[in-house]
Structure 1
Amino acid sequence: MPQIRRLSVTARRTLVAVTPPLLAAAVVLSVFLSLRDRLPGRMATHMGTGGEADGFTGQGAFLAVALAVLLGDAVLFGGLTHWIRSNPGVQRVIAVTGGSAAVLTGWLVVAVLRANAQAADAASVTLPGLQAVLAFGATAVYAAVGWLLCGRVQESETPSGPTTGATRLSLGEDETASWSRVTGSRVLPLTGILVLAVGLVVGITTGWLPALPLLVIGAALALLTGARVTADRRGITVTPTLVSWPRLNVPLERIAEAGTRPVAPLRDFGGWGYRARPGASGIVLRSGDALSARLTTGSEFVVTVDDAATAAALLNALAAREGRAPAGE
């Protein structure tokens, strides 16, 4: 008998991400075609807090936007799930998020189509709150099922990547030394500016209270995305460049060995900023060289910064002077 090959973990998770949006797109198109003769030319597509229509869109535009969102969901989350396969913890979250978002979107789009077909005219369309409850309920069920289908994150799935060890700096018994560099991100400030712009639009058109979270997040992303990295007898210290808080410190006594390695934020950590995944954490603000510290717990701490080799060599020298020679020496 021929053997049945089991799907790889990445293939299974990709299916969790792309199957719901593709099925939802097919269902939306089928329902639209079956109800087309009963739908008004200008459909009610936005409901107010009371469930009554307060926004309208043409049939073709509504269908095009709905299908574009669902197919875009499949492409975006399916691609990310495949690309971030080296970071399975994040991969699992992305796969479930993409599939769940499609379930929610598809359910609500079908509910809007049916509500328009059942009403005498678009102005009288209502969407009961029960539909939203059912939509979120179906989304929660799929999220739970998808999480199980993705499988657990195994230790073998979480490689830290190749690390290059650093030589020790020559330090005398009475010498002190400190290394410091500023590192930053191009992605996060741009994201912050975009979020601020959206917050301003929401504030002007809707009100400043709902815009407040967007303005706060946007300002934080725009202003707090540079960091000063210091390596000295205290270990590794990272602080924002504009303020002194929050401050992150990895004590020297917790560092077993320091080295360098290349880091790709999306592939290795699923994004930018303070990141954590099984076996590794750190400050990831850009792609490229990173200071990598193997901790006494067996985990890894990284921070992307220029001249990381000098920082690693200094940390190894300081550890050796305290009588804790790095592993392998």
Structure 2
Amino acid sequence: MPHSRSASLDARRIAVAVAPALIAAAVVLSVFLSVQDRLPGRMAVHIGDGGRADGFSGQGSFLATALGVLVGDGVVFGGLALWIRPNPGVQRVLAAIGGAVAVLTGWLVTAVLLANTDVSDAATVTLPGTQAALAFGAAALYAAVGWAACGTAQETETVSGPSAQAPRLTLGDAETAGWTQVTGSRVLPVTGALILAAGIVVCVTTGWAPALPLLLTGTPMTVLTSARVTADRRGITVTPSLVPWPRLNVPLERITEAGHRTVNPLRDFGGWGYRARPGASGIVLRTGDAISARLTTGSEFVVTVDDAATAAALLNTLADRERRTSAGG
């Protein structure tokens, strides 16, 4: 039953993302064919400041571009909604955004077509600002309706945790052990550097005030791109490699069982860094092997890092010892 419900929600979200693009493409094509003989050969295709035309194109080019954008919107957002099924929260956002973009695009393209109708000189074409307001209003309305239609993220849709037969390391009662690895991201430092560079350019050309959001965003993305992951008697500890803070710790008493699995940041968590979604959270810096700890709350905590299987086995052994000690065994 949960699987059937999940499949039904997947199909609904994909439809929310794709249907507006196909409908908008059909409407644009229908309107174009109905007014084609009343359109100028050189159409106004971009309306600039003041509501007057400042960009022009032939009829065929305009239609091909409009249909290409609409169909491309459906393909891209529908494909993303399909690919990101393990993350229902992000899937829902993508579906609502994709449908809203199609509504906005279809409305504006249709408005431009009608504005060109019965015009002898495309340079005289105007488009009232109310059309843009109506287009954004329709897109916002569809986003709200689509968001509701997508349903809520269900716990049954989350990725399952580690195997019930999780491995242990052989460790004597008097022995102690620790495991540590450094993990990093290739995406975050590049993205952070680009944002910082943009912030510096804006600061030089415009001033520090508009550059501040870029600098505040780019700096942590550049600095917090690698982390040291430690598994020992304290549980799982993740600390940035370059600075001592912020440090995240999941103590042993909160860990029911540990395992490892492959994690894809975008598909499973919707991005990189510290991520959270219904039923799961963690530090996700790259695609690949990850420690997967099932917590006493029933949720999952993951950290992408090499040799996650060894860390998980050690955590299971230490967690068992912690439970025996707490029970007085």
SS in 2 for 1:165: coil
State the TM-score, normalized to the length of structure 2: 0.80
Q: Which residue of 1 aligns with 2:262?
A: 262
Conserved 8 A contact 1:96-1:143: yes
Q: Percent identity?
A: 67
1:18 deviates by 0.7
1:21 deviates by 0.8
SS in 1 for 2:246: coil
* 1:57 matches 2:67: no
Q: 1:270 to 1:29 in 2, by over 3 A?
A: same
Spell out the pairing of 1:175-324 with structure 2 (5 A cutoff). 177-192=177-192, 199=198, 213=213, 217=217, 220-324=220-324
What is the alpha-carbon distance in structure 2 between the residues aligned to residue 133 and residue 211 of structure 1? 29
Residue deviations 1:135-166 (CA, integer Å, cap 9, x gap): 22211221222223223333322232554623
Q: Which residue of 1 aligns with 2:66?
A: 66
Residue deviations 1:167-225 (CA, integer Å, cap 9, x gap): 0352554x55432211122344455566678x48x959x96776765666456545533
What is the alpha-carbon distance in structure 2 between the residues aligned to residue 292 and residue 324 of structure 1? 22
Question: Cα RMSD between the aligned structures?
Answer: 3.4
1:267 deviates by 3.5
Q: Which residue of 2 aligns with 1:81?
A: 81
Q: 1:62 to 1:243 in 2, by over 3 A?
A: farther
* 1:170 matches 2:171: yes
What is the alpha-carbon distance in structure 2 between the residues aligned to residue 165 and residue 70 of structure 1? 48
Conserved 8 A contact 1:17-1:78: yes
Conserved 8 A contact 2:273-2:283: yes
When the two structures are aligned, how many residues end up with a matched partner?
315
Residue deviations 1:112-142 (CA, integer Å, cap 9, x gap): 3333447674444443332222122211221
Q: 1:214 to 1:34 in 2, by over 3 A?
A: farther
Spell out the pairing of 1:20-169 with structure 2 (5 A cutoff). 20-36=20-36, 37-39=38-40, 41=42, 43-48=44-49, 50-53=50-53, 55-59=54-58, 60-117=60-117, 121-163=121-163, 165-169=166-170
- Counterpart of 2:238, as a letter, is V
Higher mean displacement: 274-283 or 31-40: 31-40
1:302 deviates by 0.4
Q: Which residue of 1 aligns with 2:3?
A: none
1:98 deviates by 1.1
What is the alpha-carbon distance in structure 1 between the residues aligned to residue 195 and residue 28 of structure 2? 31
1:84 deviates by 2.2
- Counterpart of 1:38, as a letter, is L
Higher mean displacement: 134-143 or 155-164: 155-164
What is the alpha-carbon distance in structure 1 between the residues aligned to residue 30 and residue 224 of structure 2? 48
- Counterpart of 2:90, as a letter, is V
- Counterpart of 1:47, as a letter, is G
State the TM-score, normalized to the length of structure 1: 0.80
